[in-house]
Chains A and B, each alone.
Chain A
Amino acid sequence: MTSSSIARKFAMALSGLFLVLFLGQHFTINLTSVIAPDTFNNWSHFMGTNFLVQAVLQPVLIFGVVFHFIMGFILELQNRRARNVGYASYKGSANASWASRNMIISGLVILAFLVLHFIDFWIPELNIKYLQGDMSGLLESGGGYRYHEELVHKFESHLRVIAYVIAFVLLAIHLWHGFASSFQSVGFNNKYSKGLTSFAKVYAIVIPVGFIFIALYHHINHLIH
């Protein structure tokens, strides 16, 4: 079953849905950095030090991300092979959206963003916690947890904020097609489909725009002060 085209698209849809769930959780915690920095610090410390999150959820998440990317590349290569001679004239826009036809482009931008994101947050976090052995999550200067200050500090850079905004626009485009189409891939098409598709489209806009808002909020806050 695993080698069939339908099984592969099912796996692609399931891993995508899992990542969509993760995005919602990530966004919820990040939003607290704007409305309640203390809550953000507490949640960040919990997520960064809780055994279940670190030893179980994090590896599952990494597997989900890597699987989704590798499967995406494999499918793209197979699909390109399925049309060995291309058209001289191909009017893709006549029958399908740009988002649906260019998932590999939006996906690659998101992959590039993830590399930047890991360099920004994940690698320093691993360094502090496991190389330096500081699991306290406290600022060196004292005065509580370090997470909020680190986040705010990252968004001081114009270039980083621009890169983040571009990546989130592409994320919105990726989700615009991907989230709604995952229901079709798992075989879900009934009277609830319309409602679910609408929800997926709203989600595809709200979450990335929310992330953009958070990045801009911290950046503008920095410019003002």
Chain B
Amino acid sequence: MKLTLKIWRQENAAAKGGIQSYPIDGIEGDMSFLEMLDVLNEQLISKGDDPVVFDHDCREGICGSCSLQINGEPHGPDRLITTCQLHMRMFKDGDTITIEPFRAAAFPVIKDLMVDRTAFDRIQQAGGYISVNTSGNTIDANAIPVNKEDADESFNAATCIGCGACVAACKNASAMLFTAAKVSQFALLPQGKVEAATRVLNMVEQMDKEGFGNCTNTGACEVECPKGISLENIARMNREYLSASLKG
């Protein structure tokens, strides 16, 4: 397969970046998108050029490291997958593929396609945990009964890998789906309910501080989420937030 890649190149956070074109040949349909970029980088390195910097780690759709806005969509045109799970068979011979970093003021570019997503870590640190003393007096998780529906919904929310596709897809660069998933996974369980009010208030406050946009319910995040996190989580977070605010 012969392709033309249009890739965002940017030396560092302060530099002005731009799109550069790279022709590439010999790409197989069975390759993953990241393997295709590996091929490009090997060619660039052998020519003495700077390889394209992009985030990746597990390459099996679990870690949430890989990102990339591919032809205008986070993680490319396929659904319920991350970029590392995107196969080149989704593209045709002769295609031009535009590859950009996830764009948000809260996700500044580090270099080329790699962005700083530590804003998500700070939201998580603001309340995405339960305060349990686990040193020496660990409580058996099964000692507290949880009904099946709540356990399932909580688990579904917990499958969020924090990749940032929701922010990248949203026209407002809103982080509501990520924050809502993290709020929901605890809010649904008895262990998480104890700190539910302070959790949601603190996490939303941090989310706003980071400079993410406001949710306008377009639903783009849900469509592009590699883990299929539901918009219901955002409604739940809105409920949790409003009731926590009213309680003071």
- Could you pull out 11 A-B pairs where Cβ atoms are within 8 angstroms? A3-B208, A5-B204, A6-B237, A79-B172, A79-B173, A81-B211, A82-B173, A88-B19, A184-B238, A187-B236, A189-B231
What residues of B have a CB within 8 angstroms of the CB of A10 in the complex? 238, 242
Is A130 an interface residue when CB atoms closer than 8 A count as contact?
A: no
Min C-beta distance of B239 to chain A, whole Å: 3
Cβ contacts B208-244/A at 8 Å (1 or 0 each): 1001111111111001100000011011111111100
Min C-beta distance of B230 to chain A, whole Å: 9
Contact B216 A91, beta carbon cutoff 8 Å: no
Contact A7 B245, beta carbon cutoff 8 Å: yes
Interface size on A, residues (CB 8 A): 39
- Majority SS of interface residues in chain B? mixed
Bound: A195/B208 CA distance, A: 32
Bound: A29/B172 CA distance, A: 38
A85-B231 in contact given A5-B204, A91-B73, A187-B242 (Cβ < 8 Å): no
Q: Which of A8-47 contact B (CB under 8 A)?
A: 8-10
Q: Which of B164-203 contact A (CB under 8 A)?
A: 169, 171-174, 176
Contact A185 B238, beta carbon cutoff 8 Å: yes
What residues of B have a CB within 8 angstroms of the CB of A189 in the complex? 231-232, 235-236
Contact A9 B215, beta carbon cutoff 8 Å: yes
Among B71, B171, B207, B220, find the residue whose CB has the most chain A CB atoms closer than 10 A. Answer: B171
Contact B73 A94, beta carbon cutoff 8 Å: yes
What residues of B have a CB within 8 angstroms of the CB of A84 in the complex? 105
Contact A91 B217, beta carbon cutoff 8 Å: no
Interface size on B, residues (CB 8 A): 49
Q: Which of B151-168 contact A (CB under 8 A)?
A: none
Contact A181 B232, beta carbon cutoff 8 Å: no
Contact A4 B204, beta carbon cutoff 8 Å: yes
- The closest CB in chain A to the CB of B221 belongs to A95
What residues of A have a CB within 8 angstroms of the CB of B73 in the complex? 91, 94-95
Is B98 an interface residue when CB atoms closer than 8 A count as contact?
A: yes
What residues of B have a CB within 8 angstroms of the CB of A96 in the complex? 171, 218-220, 223
Q: Which of B85-136 contact A (CB under 8 A)?
A: 98, 100, 103-106, 109
Is B205 an interface residue when CB atoms closer than 8 A count as contact?
A: yes
Contact B218 A82, beta carbon cutoff 8 Å: no
What residues of B have a CB within 8 angstroms of the CB of A186 in the complex? 238, 242
What residues of B have a CB within 8 angstroms of the CB of A141 in the complex? none
Bound: A84/B106 CA distance, A: 9
Among B172, B205, B213, B219, the residue within 8 A (CB) of A4 is B205
The segment from A60-68, A97-105, A108-116, A154-162 that touches chain B is A97-105
Min C-beta distance of A70 to chain B, whole Å: 14
Contact B219 A82, beta carbon cutoff 8 Å: no
Bound: A122/B238 CA distance, A: 38
Contact A6 B204, beta carbon cutoff 8 Å: yes
Contact B169 A78, beta carbon cutoff 8 Å: no
